[in-house]
Amino acid sequence: MSSVTSQPPVSQSIEHFTLRDLVRPLFRYHRVFAGCFAVVFVLAMAFLMTRPKQYQSHMTVLVSRERLDPIVSTEVVSSSGSGVAPVTEEEINSEAELLRSRDVLEQVVRANNLQNARPGFLARLFPAVGENVRIDRAVQQLSKNLDIKITPKSDVLDVSYASTDPKVTYSVLNSLGEFYVQKHVAVRRAPGTYDFFAAETQRYQDAMNLAEQKLREFDQNQGLAAPDLQREGMTAQVTNAIGQKHVIEQAIAADASRMKVDQQGLQSTPARSVTAHSTTPPTMLLQQLGADLLKAQTKRTELAAKYNADYPLVQEADQELAQGQEAFDRAQKTNYVSETTDRDPTYELWRSDLARSQADLAAQQASLSVLDRSIVDMRAQMVALDNAALTVKALQRDAKANEDNYLMYLSKREQERASDALDRIRVGNVAIVAPPAIPALPEMPAVPAGLLAFALATLVSLVVTYTSAYLDPSFHAPEDISEMLGVSNVISISCKAA
């Protein structure tokens, strides 16, 4: 059977390329497609079913700002804040890089002994002798097998790891979470802050105890308690003493003036005055003188009878008689005056007042002398108390400063201790919200493996089929002739065996 068909130009056929033209090679080389599909599917299934099973475990890390660590400073930091800023994309990427950091992966390798696991094909051909080389290879392999994904528009990191042993898979992810949190704490917080504040707390506590000990020893050695208060009391005493001194000086001046007046009064006032006056004649004297005169006259008469007038005894008797007569005459003219005198009261008043003024003056002068010495001594004590007060203030200031620093560093130490305690229980700005678990099923079971083998076989078969169609030099349609020769077909004749 033959037919003649008028064909359109080449450009027109190319422009009207249809789905039939696309699938035509599949029908033309259906045997090639089927054979290639069967071979690839069988080989892929055989490979997937015979390869070691991979067990994959997942871990989810939440990056947040739930806790703000205190600022490392010697100043008191207020706990109030304006709010917590949201986590940025840069911070999430930084946490992802911390998960991939060399030191964290090396710790995971050492903790799980991955460097001594079964080596790969190249490692068996070229065995590593050194421990460091095996660790480097294990770290590289762990970095390749570790899959870290950042969930879009969230603060979550999804970490997955697969291996042939489910326990190793879990252990690796669990170790990775622990070492990552430790790394995060070490990076985000200054290392050694607790030890620093603890050392400073102990140092200022020792300094405070030493200053207090010096203050106690100073008080005990000086015998002073509160020198400021003592100085205030001493100041009041000195003020009172100075006032008393002025009073005593006034009293001394008054006593001296009064003594001068008393002395003038004593000089102008007699010591004694007459209180009684009486006059009496000397009766008994006249009687005695009369008897003596009579006796002398009798003696003169007797001698005159015997002797002459010029006889010495007679003359002597005359002289004695004249004397007795003269004495008798004077006695008759004499009167006894009796006067009674006593102390003058005005004089005694001046004298007693003078004595009292003298005694008061002596007492006031003694008091003034003692008071002057007391004022000098109290002023010297005030100077000593001033020096002692300055020393005590200096010691108290040192003790207070050391106490303030001790309390400040004690507070800082407790803050760091609380931060370290929170870090130990994983209270930080990252949290393992979904810890890893031991996987019970392999990563790729039979149905997903079959689907993967089917997809792979289909893809390879399509590539082989279209490649075979492209490489086939024979013409299978009039369009092939037009496309090859670049001319239009007028008539095409097809033959089909009966």
CA triple 252-255-256, angle to 5 deg? 85
Is pLDDT above 60 for 15? no
Is pLDDT above 60 for 434? yes
Tokens found for residue 319: 């002289």
Residue 148 phi, psi (nearest 5)? -115, 120
Residue 299 in any domain: the answer is no
Rounded distance between C-alpha atoms, residue 218 and residue 230, angstroms: 16
The whole-number pLDDT of residue 429 equals: 66
**Enclosing domain of residue 482:** 1-52+444-498
Contact 442, 55 (CB under 8 A): yes
Of 61, 56, 59, the residue nearest 157 (C-alpha): 61
Is pLDDT above 70 for 424? no
pTM of the model: 0.42
Specify the DSSP class assigned to residue 156.
E
Residue 10 in any domain: the answer is yes
Beta strand 272-280 pairing with 336-343: antiparallel
468: Cβ contacts below 8 Å, ≥ 6 apart: 25, 29, 32
Rounded distance between C-alpha atoms, residue 301 and residue 315, angstroms: 12
Tokens found for residue 101: 């950091």
Is pLDDT above 60 for 3? no
3-state secondary structure 427-495: CCCEEEEECCCCCCCCCCCHHHHHHHHHHHHHHHHHHHHHHHHHHCCCCCCHHHHHHHHCCCCCCCECC
- Calculate what percentage of the chain has a pLDDT beyond 90: 0
> If you average pLDDT over every residue of the chain, what do you get?
75
Beta strand 336-343 pairing with 147-150: unpaired
461: Cβ contacts below 8 Å, ≥ 6 apart: 32, 33, 34, 36, 37, 40
Rounded distance between C-alpha atoms, residue 435 and residue 173, angstroms: 8
3-class DSSP state for residue 225? Answer: coil
Contact 286, 328 (CB under 8 A): yes
How many domains does the structure of the chain reveal?
Answer: 1
Residue 182 in any domain: the answer is no
- Calculate what percentage of the chain has a pLDDT beyond 70: 73
Of 227, 203, 230, the residue nearest 215 (C-alpha): 227
Tokens 């803050």 correspond to: 415
Residue 245 in any domain: the answer is no
Contact 355, 222 (CB under 8 A): no
Contact 199, 409 (CB under 8 A): no
Residue 111 in any domain: the answer is no
Tokens 């200031």 correspond to: 397
Contact 491, 5 (CB under 8 A): yes
84-98, 173-187, 419-433: the lowest-pLDDT one: 419-433
Tokens 């911390």 correspond to: 98
Residue 190 in any domain: the answer is no
Residue 384 in any domain: the answer is no
Specify the DSSP class assigned to residue 271.
S
The whole-number pLDDT of residue 389 equals: 79
Residue 221 in any domain: the answer is no
Is pLDDT above 70 for 248? yes
CA triple 345-347-351, angle to 5 deg? 115
Is pLDDT above 60 for 6? no
The whole-number pLDDT of residue 491 equals: 62
Based on the number of CB atoms within 10 Å of its own CB, is 255 exposed (0-12), middle (13-18) or buried (19 or more)?
buried
Rounded distance between C-alpha atoms, residue 236 and residue 244, angstroms: 12
Q: Angle 102-112/166-188 helices, nearest 10 degrees? A: 140
147: Cβ contacts below 8 Å, ≥ 6 apart: 159, 160, 161
Handedness of CA 109, 115, 119, 124 (dihedral sign): positive
pLDDT tier at 452 (50, 70, 90 boundaries)?
confident
Rounded distance between C-alpha atoms, residue 180 and residue 435, angstroms: 13
How do residues 179-224 score in pLDDT, each as one tens digit? 887 777 777 665 667 777 788 888 888 888 888 888 788 777 776 6
21-25, 50-54, 375-379, 415-419: the lowest-pLDDT one: 50-54
Is pLDDT above 50 for 387? yes
Compute the average pLDDT of residues 271-296: 75
